[in-house]
């Protein structure tokens, strides 16, 4: 099984009703470093991740994975994950089922994934009654069970308190340690620094800058990113 | 009037056999029709909700319009199909309970399918991205959503049952209101009223209302329990 990475974006644009939301983005995402997508509200972070994950089709340009079968070897965790009306365990089992995992293995793999995110005690509880933080961890468990080569995370800790945020960050680090390529958007500069190896800074649908984390902080090269960092830091 | 009401209650209370045969047949016909219409209507509604194919919009408009089909028109249509000279005449179904089930299924199917289509479409907006991320699309996504909102779909099924148990026109035409064979509550009420036997008509009317109430109460209890259980 050859790797689906690197992921190539060539001159990718995305427009709705003639309004350009993503504008001629060219990028190569390699296996390895965790990539943080930073940018102000409305910069196009969510749209860019949906394009990469294949949920949106570009209006122009090309997005290509390096081998076949990329769909099944990537996962995405949304800001507000959708839970099926069944138990936490069965939510993970469902993800395994639709990924083609044989029935005999599903329950064991699902339990392991719940263990990984610390949700074993609530495995039988209906997913929809779990707290926001627990639901987000369950979304991560669904991804974990699939052992994706790439994991997209769209502001996975927005709306969570610091405790829940830390738990989520620990799990994201575990993905990285297990060899999954992490691509995550966030508002939090602190989180970017804690989890990322490199930054892609989006400004009005364009890539304003791409730098290794230790160069981006404390001094971004692009004026847009510098202004953003200056604005955000005092509250971080 | 009060006297008639009293006699009607007495008929119900004394478990008049004639009355309960009619009630039994009514329930049998309407519940069978709703069962068939549910089996066909839910998947049909889900496919219309989730599918993307040419003619989908037109199909939805037609389906919604069919919700308002007059029962007598459905009855007439099924009558023509089942009558001896009709395309399905050889089966000899006209004026049998089976014919009534067929007519009510046709009558109720659009209601269940149209309401299911709306419910699934609303839910699909929430589920679509997540399911597509899992690689689930098309009929498989439709079935997942259908199953996930199955308790809300009870409302659609109950609407269908209400329509089936309340209608007279279709069962009258294809069943013929034959005493002991195809006489159901609504046709009996119509007949007894025209004959002036108000006690029986009223008794049947009360039973009809009680049954519809009880079934809806049961559906409500199930929905509430499911909501508590699954969130
Ligand atoms: N389906 C759509 N139709 C029209 N406009 C859209 C659509 N999706 C996104 N947009 C617009 O595209 C721009 C970028 O949206 P996007 O959600 O990617 O921003 P973001 O960087 O993720 O912002 P945030 O930090 O608030 O999540 C916004 O101006 C948004 O209104
Ligand atoms: Mg966003």
Query: Average pLDDT for consecutive 10-residue bins of chain B (231 residues)?
Result: 74 75 93 97 93 91 93 95 91 93 96 96 94 91 92 93 92 91 92 88 88 91 87 74
Q: How far is CA A231 from CA A39, A41, A179, A201, A227, in A?
A: 12, 13, 34, 14, 6
Which phi-psi region, left, alpha or beta, contains residue A190 (left: φ > 0; alpha: ψ -120 to 50)? alpha
A203 CB less than 6 Å from ligand 1?
no
Of all residues in chain B, the one with the smallest CA distance to A96 is: B134
Residue ranges and CATH numbers for the domains of chain A are 7-235 (3.40.50.300)
The three-state secondary structure class of B87 is: coil
The CA distance from B201 to A133, in Å, is 60
**Which range marks the domain in which residue B44 is found?**
2-230
Nearest CA to ligand 1 atom 27: A41
The CA distance from A119 to A135, in Å, is 10
Q: How confident is the model at residue A233 (pLDDT cuts 50, 70, 90)?
A: low
Order the strands of the A7-16 sheet from edge to edge: A19-29, A7-16, A60-64
Is A71 in contact with B135 (Cβ distance < 8 A)?
Answer: yes
Q: How confident is the model at residue A206 (pLDDT cuts 50, 70, 90)?
A: very high
A47 CB less than 6 Å from ligand 1?
yes
- Please state the separation of Cα A72 from the chain's center in Å: 15
Name A110's Cβ contacts closer than 8 Å, sequence gap at least 6. A89, A92, A93, A96, A141, A145
* Residue among B126, B135, B231 whose CB faces A82 most closely: B126
Quote the tokens at residue A151.
Answer: 């994991």
Which chain A residues touch B140 with a CB distance below 8 Å?
98
The three-state secondary structure class of A26 is: strand
Q: How confident is the model at residue A1 (pLDDT cuts 50, 70, 90)?
A: low
Inform me whether the pLDDT recorded for A232 exceeds 80: no
Which chain A residues touch B152 with a CB distance below 8 Å?
none
Please give the ipTM for the structure prediction.
0.91
* Ligand 2 centroid distance, CA of B116 (Å): 32
A44 CB less than 6 Å from ligand 1?
yes
The CA distance from B83 to B66, in Å, is 23
Number of domains in chain B: 1
Which chain B residues touch A83 with a CB distance below 8 Å?
231
Test mutation, B52, B134, B148, B154, chain A, max A CBs within 10 A: B134
Nearest CA to ligand 1 atom 12: A21
Nearest CA to ligand 1 atom 4: A16
User: Which CATH number goes with the domain that contains B28?
Assistant: 1.10.3720.10
Is A78 in contact with B129 (Cβ distance < 8 A)?
Answer: yes
Which of A226, A235, A204 lies closest to A44, judged by CA?
A204
Atom of ligand 1 nearest to the CA of A47: 18
The tens digit of pLDDT for each residue in A150-182 reads: 999 999 998 889 999 999 999 999 999 999 999
The CA R_g of chain A, rounded to the nearest whole Å, is 18
The tens digit of pLDDT for each residue in A89-128 reads: 999 999 999 999 999 999 999 999 999 999 999 999 999 9
Percent of chain A with pLDDT over 70: 98
């Amino acid at each position: 099984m050859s790797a689906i990475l690197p992921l190539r974006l060539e001159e990718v644009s995305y427009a709705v009703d003639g309004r350009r939301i993503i504008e001629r983005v060219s990028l190569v995402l390699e296996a390895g470093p965790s990539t943080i997508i930073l940018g102000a509200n409305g910069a196009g972070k969510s749209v860019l991740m949906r394009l990469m994950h294949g949920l949106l089709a570009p209006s122009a340009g090309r997005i290509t994975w390096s081998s076949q079968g990329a769909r099944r070897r990537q996962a995405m965790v949304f800001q507000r994950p959708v839970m099926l009306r069944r138990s936490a365990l069965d939510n993970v089992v469902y993800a395994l089922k639709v990924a083609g995992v044989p029935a005999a293995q599903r329950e064991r793999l699902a339990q392991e994934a719940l263990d990984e995110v610390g949700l074993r005690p609530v495995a039988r509880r209906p997913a929809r009654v779990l707290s926001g933080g627990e639901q987000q961890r369950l979304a991560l468990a669904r991804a974990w069970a699939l052992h994706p080569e790439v994991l997209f995370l769209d502001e996975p800790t927005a709306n969570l308190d610091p405790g829940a945020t830390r738990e989520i960050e620990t799990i994201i680090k575990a993905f990285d340690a297990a060899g999954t390529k992490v691509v995550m958007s966030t508002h939090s500069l602190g989180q970017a620094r804690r989890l990322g190896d490199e930054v892609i800074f989006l400004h009005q649908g364009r890539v304003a800058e791409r730098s290794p984390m230790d160069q981006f902080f404390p001094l971004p090269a692009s004026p847009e990113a510098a202004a953003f960092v200056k604005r955000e830091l005092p509250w971080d | 009037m009060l006297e008639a009401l009293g006699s009607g209650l007495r008929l119900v209370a004394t478990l008049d056999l004639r009355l309960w045969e009619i009630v039994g047949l009514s329930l049998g016909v309407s519940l069978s029709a709703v069962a068939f219409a549910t089996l066909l209507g839910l998947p049909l509604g889900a496919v219309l909700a989730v599918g993307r194919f040419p003619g989908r919009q037109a199909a939805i408009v037609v389906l919604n319009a069919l919700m308002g089909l007059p029962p007598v028109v459905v009855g007439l249509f099924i009558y023509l199909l089942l009558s001896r000279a009709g395309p399905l005449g050889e089966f000899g179904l006209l004026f049998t309970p089976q014919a009534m089930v067929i007519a009510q299924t046709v009558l109720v199917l659009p209601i269940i399918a149209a309401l299911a289509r709306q419910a699934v479409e609303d839910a699909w907006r929430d589920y679509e991205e997540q399911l597509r991320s899992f690689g689930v699309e098309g009929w498989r996504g439709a079935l997942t959503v259908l199953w996930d909102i199955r308790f809300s779909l009870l409302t659609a099924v109950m609407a269908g049952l209400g329509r089936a148990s309340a209608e007279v026109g279709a069962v009258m035409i294809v069943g013929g209101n034959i005493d002991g064979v195809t006489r159901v509550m609504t046709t009996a009420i119509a007949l007894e009223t025209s004959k002036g036997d108000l006690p029986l008509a009223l008794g049947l009317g009360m039973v009809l209302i009680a049954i519809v109430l009880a079934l809806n109460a049961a559906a409500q209890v199930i929905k509430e329990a499911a909501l508590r259980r699954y969130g």
